Every structure is written in C-alpha cells, then in structure tokens.
Structure 1
Amino acid sequence: MFKHLPLLFMLLISLPVPAENWPAEQWTPGPPISSPAREALEDYAFTSRDDATRKGIRTDALLVIRDGQLIYERYAGPTTADTPHLTWSISKSLMATVLGVAYGEGLFSLQDPAMKFYSALEKHPAVTLADLLHWASGLDWQEDYEYAPLNSSVVAMLYTRGRRDMAGFTAAQGEFSAPGRAFRYSSGDSNLLAAALKNIVGAQRYPDYPWTALFDPLGVRHAVWETDANGTFVASSYAYLTARDLARIGLLMQRDGRWGERQLLPRDWVAFNRQPFARYQAHQDDAVPGGHWWLNRAVDGAPKPWPDAPDDTFAALGHWGQALYVIPSEKLVIVRYGDDRDGTYQHNELLRRAMSAFASKVQP
C-alpha cells in the first residue's frame, strides 16, 4: 500500500509554492476593495468630529495590508502618507521590537536583573527585564493623564520633575508589590527598558540602534524618536512613524519576526511578546498584556477584549486611538492613527468592520 509514496512525495514537493509579498521601497498594491462593508468601515472611522468640543471620532490615517500587499489607505486632515505621526504608547511595542533584535544578538536574557544594565535600579535589584516587559516591575506608579494630572506619575515624568531623566525618575519610585507579581501599566517601566538598552548594546551603538537594528532592515525611512536630556529614547511615548512604515513593523510581527530570508527577531522572542502575562487579572485594562504588546485573549473566564476579532489578534496601542493591529490568521495588518478624546472610538468596532471588509473570505 506504500509503493506509491515516493511518487506522491515528489508530486507534492514539485507543486508551486505561492510567492510571498514583501514591500520594497514602496508597498506593492493589492486588488482594490470596494464594497458596502468598506463603506461601513469608513462611515465609522471617518465620521466628522465636533472640533469645538473634541467629541467624536477623528481618524488621521487608516491603512490595511493583506498578505503583504497594500489594499486600503486613506488619510484625513494634515496627515498624509509621508507624515510621521506621533504614536504615543505604540512606542512601547516598538521598543520591545528593538530589544528583540538585541536579544537575538545574545546580549541579554529575559531573566537578567534590569539593574545589570541600569544601575539606578539598585534599590530594586530583583526587577528583571521580563518584569519590565510585562509592566510588572512592582514600582509604584499612577498612569493617569489629563483626567488626574496632579496624581499622575506619567505626567510628572514626561513634563515636570522627571522630564530630563525619565528612567531615573522612575527608578526612584517606591514599591507597591514584589516584582513580577502584579500587573500595573507603567510608562515608567518602558523608559527603564530604554535606559537598559543603552548598556545592553553599548553607548556607541545606542543612538543609532533602532535604525541599524530594526528600521533600516525593514525599509522604514521616516522614523523619528525623541530622547530625554540624558539621550535616552522616550520609549513610552515619543516615536513618530508614517502609517506605511508602521505597517512594516506589523508585517514583521505577523510573520513571526521574519523579514524576507532573514529571521530578524527570534521566534521565541515573538512568542514571548504574544504570551499573556500569567498574573494578569481580567478587566485590569482594555486588553490583555503580553511582552509589551496587547493580546485578544480570554483570561480568568472573562471574554476576550475584542470579541469580533480572531483570537490570535494582537496590537500595539497608543493614547487617543493610535493602533497597530496584527491578525496572523487573516494575514492582516491594520494601522489606525487618530485623535480621539472622549472614548467614542472602540477597537472592537473598527476590527469588526475591518474583518467584514478585508478578511480572507471577502473577495475583491
């Protein structure tokens, strides 16, 4: 019964393998999508906002990549395809991606004490790099913005007492729990990672490292990343990328850290990014934290955060509606830039409409 297996094997390996689409200097355009579902997506994303009250949804850019091809793109206001847009906390996931390249170079392990690379953490010697990537340093922190500025650690770090040395300001905070025991979202943890990176790769490489390690290999041409007065990247907040450039980060992550023939990020690093923090409790945030990325996972019996998106959806998210959504099962990458001030915009609603318009079952 097995005598024909060699012939079958030869037939299988001789079948043509579909070519992968990778962007060169520009994205390759895919088949244009025109449908009522696309119009419904646009009706949601590009509704006019009352500029006097800043109520409603304001989308600055919406871009969709399917299977490595650009199939949808629209901009509004002053934002264009060439505009590096402020990403806010998407910067955190960008820093995690840059760190992944250094991890692949063998320069650190996840369980290394952060103090090994940033001595200002001497009062918190048990904090590991994995703890920082899980927003679980245990350092006392209040991530309030314009709603409670007087009590806000992040406002003080970015704009007042801590703005010259953001990592140093964070390291000086007290402790609210043992490291690795509790999730507490913290822009300070992200800036500690940026400070640690300086010693991980060395002071000489550090100023150019996001470009030489990540942006240049991907063809990202318009990235800007601010530093504090100490020359440390503001990993919490201040990276600027065009929507097309940010989509390259998404495609890298969708394809498990591979860019063309090069495994730029180790697969185990991407798996760590997409693994839920074990001690996260349901409803602590709007999505489930992984390794400095956000996941669409059910936790503690609670439903997944974005019920109309596939389980494997994960995202980099930023203040006022910035989002990079990655959906590996559908080979989709979605970039959304905006300026939402009142909570009207909902991730699940945009994902639901995007799935209806662009998922694989949808024919152009």
Structure 2
Amino acid sequence: MFKGLPLLFLLLLSLPAHAENWPGAQWSTGPAATGPALQALEAYAFPPRDDTTRQGIRTDALLVIRDGQLIYERYAGPTTADTPHLTWSISKSLMATVLGVAYGEGRFNLQDPVVKFYPPLHRHPTLTMADLLHWASGLDWQEDYEYAPLKSSVVAMLYTRGHRDTAAFTADHDDYAQSGQAFRYSSGDTNLLSAALKTIVGPTRYPDYPWVALFEPLGIGHAVWETDASGTFVASSYAYLTARDLARVGLMMARDGRWGDRQVVPKDWVAFNREPFARYQASQDEAVPGGHWWLNRSIAGSATPWPDAPADTFAALGHWGQAMYVIPGENLVIVRYGDDRDGSYRHNELLKLALKAFVAKVQP
C-alpha cells in the first residue's frame, strides 16, 4: 500500500499527532503570558499583604502548567519554589490517589467493607471503601473549624481527644444515617481510609508506600506526610508538597493516571474520582464531591459551581485557600497555595481570570 512513498513521509506517519511534554528533574518552561489579562489575575491573587491582620486574599504561591510545561510561577510571604507547603485537605485527594495505586495492584475493591481492613469499624459493618471516598460514611461527624471549635469533630481529632489515633477516634462515632446514603464532608472518613491502607498494603510497606507508589514515580522529591502516634498518615490534613511537586500529581490526573509510558493509577480509578456521588444534593456555589476530588459538574439541572470554568474542571481543595485545579480539556493545571483567613477568596474568580490570561480563546 505504501510502495513508492518517500521514507521521510512514512516516518512522519509513525509519529504521534502531538508530542507530550513531561517534566524531568525540573519543569521545562513554555511561552509566558503578558498583558492586561495577566495583570488582572495578579491584582486579584496578589493584593497588598497585611501580615498584622491576615485579612483579605493572601496567595502564597500561584503556579500554572500548560501542555506539561511551566508557564507561570509567583510566590509571596515565606513561601518559595522549594517550600513544602501545608496542603490541608488537598491531602485527602492525595490519599485517594495513593489508594488508586493500591487499587491498580488488585489489593481491594470499591465495594469491600472497610471493616475487612480496619476491624475497629465492627460497629459499622456495611460501610464500604466507596462510601468513605464519597464522604458518605453515615458517621455523625461535625466538620467545623475555628468558628465553632467546641462542637467540632475535626478539631477534637487533630488537636485534643483524637490526635493520638485519628482513625480510632473516628470509628467510635455513632451513625446518623445509613452508610452510602448521604454526603457529609468528614476528615474522619479520610483517616479511616488511611488506616485501612495500612492493612491493604501491609504494615511493613505502609510507612513508605506514598513515596514508592506515587511520589517517586512522578519525580516528587520534597514531600512530607505527618502521622499520628499510631503511625497512621493524617491523610485528612498533613501532607506538605512544593507547588511544583503538587502540579505533577495534577498533570498525571489530567492525563488519566498516566505518567509518561507508565499507568500509575488505573483509568477507571480516575474516572471514579471524577464521577459525582450519585446521592449528592447540589448546593449553590459548592463544588460537587466525586471520589475524594471536587468537580465542576451540574447536578439535576443545577448551575455548575464555577460557571466561568469548563465543566471538566476538577480540583483538590484545602483549608485557608489551598487549591489545585485540573482542566483536562485545556491541558491546564493550576496550583494555588494561600493563607486566607476571612473567606474572601473565590475559586471561580481565580479560574475566570486564569483562563483569560492563559487560554487564548477566552481572551476578551
């Protein structure tokens, strides 16, 4: 069929349609944005910073990856490119990704009862791994923070009664609903997953597993993950990564769990992460829960939570303004670290301005 065709033409036919960029030890850089759209983004993300009152938007880091290349990076406050920043609840999505590697090794199924891997949950025998990943354990948990510390389950878990063994503290809660039937955001659910992982991969592998399974294959060299006194990773809250390293996780997720030629996390696991929890009741302006990631999806005809971002946008989010946004259709990953204390930061506003600055077709 190819008789007589020039050799160069045949070689061109064999090349991929679009050569992918993957970072080595360092990110390669792409074309830098300039102009009014970038200025508007920076004015929003980096207003004058008052460290005495801690009021307003206080961005510590803003980093943008496009087509696998670093195209924008800026830091403020004490944070630099080499600072492993506290990610707070981005840690939850990181634990889900680590679990995805174990899932790919055939070590558990989504419908496995969690008590199989964590016996202290004997009072909750119907609770499954999928239920925990949907924050639908049915446990009577109060995810309140500084504004209501006396009734907060998470404050007690991290700082007082439960800090020595976060999973045992969570498992001791009563039910408020049947597992799998209702969404209630819970840092305790994530720490139960972390304790289950100890049995899933074995206690010998567990202390190094996030590094061997995820961080090292992606070239992440500065990750820190704290444990409680029982040796369980505090997966709800206490992972620390540089912005550049966190972006590697985002790039892998944007490419359906693949890193170069290696399928680190199975495609069906990533699809589960990005599928809305079927029993979620949409709330205005709130991201939709998937499998321990947050989605910009419409539920039952509701508006998308971030109307100025594409519907395929999904994110890992944390307290005080931590965010990693993944927009596969635009080959875009945005990492934003912050120290916001007054709730003035808005995900949709940053996404709108970033898209205007870095995606030509939405330029005004």
* More divergent stretch after superposition (185-194 vs 42-51): 42-51
3-state SS of 1:110 partner: coil
Aligned position for 1:107: 107
Q: CA deviation at 1:31?
A: 1.1
| Residue 11 (structure 1) shift | 10
AA matched with 1:87? T
CA shift in 2, pair 1:210/1:42, >3 Å: same
Q: Shift of the alpha carbon at 1:53?
A: 2.6
Q: Do the aligned residues in 2 keep the contact of 1:86 with 1:240 (CA within 8 Å)?
A: yes
Write the mapping of 1:166-181 to structure 2, written as runs, cut at 5 A. 166-181=166-181
TM-score normalized by the length of structure 1: 0.95
Equivalent pair of 2:134/2:292 in contact (CA under 8 Å): yes
Aligned AA for 2:114?
A: A
The 1:215/1:360 distance shift into structure 2, 3 A limit, reads farther
State the match for 1:218 in structure 2: 218
CA-to-partner distance for each residue in 1:286-344, whole Å, 9 max, x for gaps? 21000000000011222010000000000000000000000000000000000111111
Q: Note the alpha carbon deviations across 1:217-261, whole angstroms, 9 max, x for none.
A: 000000000000000000000000000000000000000000000
Tell me the matched-pair count. 358
Give 3-state SS (helix, strand or coil) of 2:158's partner. helix
The residue aligned with 1:335 is 335
- CA distance, structure 2, for counterparts of residue 286 and residue 163 of structure 1: 29
Alignment of 1:303-342 (within 5 A): 303-342=303-342
Hey, what does 1:264 align to over in structure 2? 264
Moved more, 172-181 or 282-291: 282-291
For 1:219 and 1:14, the matched residues in 2 are separated by: 29
Gaps of at least 5 residues in structure 1 are none
Cα deviation digits, residues 190-223 of structure 1 (max 9, x gap)? 0000000000000000000000000000000000
CA contact 2:87–2:238 (8 Å) conserved in 1? yes
Task: Provide, for residues 55-83 of structure 1, a one-character-per-residue CA deviation record: whole Å limited to 9, x for no partner.
Answer: 10000000000000000000011100000
TM-score by length of 2: 0.95
Amino acid at match of 1:295: L
Contact 1:144 1:151 in 2 (8 A): yes
* d(CA) in 2 for partners of 1:208, 1:11: 43
Matched, 1:45 2:45: yes
Unaligned runs of 5+ in 2: none
Greater Cα offset, 44-53 or 115-124? 44-53
Aligned counterparts of 1:305 and 1:65: Cα–Cα separation in 2: 23
SS in 2 for 1:34: coil
Q: Secondary structure at the match of 2:65?
A: strand
Indicate the residue corresponding to 2:132 in structure 1. 132
Runs of 4+ more than 4 Å apart? none
- Superposed CA offset, 1:114-140 (max 9, x none): 000000100001000000000000000
Q: After TM superposition, list the pairs within 5 Å mapping 1:1-364 onto structure 2.
A: 13-14=13-14, 17-283=17-283, 286-361=286-361
Contact 1:48 1:56 in 2 (8 A): no
Q: CA deviation at 1:16?
A: 5.6
Letter in 1 for 2:351: L
- Equivalent pair of 2:89/2:319 in contact (CA under 8 Å): yes
Taking the aligned partners of 1:219 and 1:316, their CA distance within structure 2 comes to: 20
Contact 1:296/1:304 (CA < 8 Å) preserved in 2?
yes
- How far apart are 1:15 and its partner, in Å? 6.2
Give the drift of 1:51: 2.9
Q: Aligned equivalents of 2:360 and 2:326: distance in 1?
A: 14
User: Contact (CA 8 Å) 1:332, 1:359: kept in 2 or not?
Assistant: no
Q: Report the aligned-residue RMSD.
A: 1.8
- Aligned partner of residue 197 in structure 2, secondary structure: helix
**Structure 1 residue identity aligned to 2:64:** V
Q: Per-residue displacement from partner, 1:30-67 (whole Å, max 9, x unpaired)?
A: 11111210111000000123333321000000000000
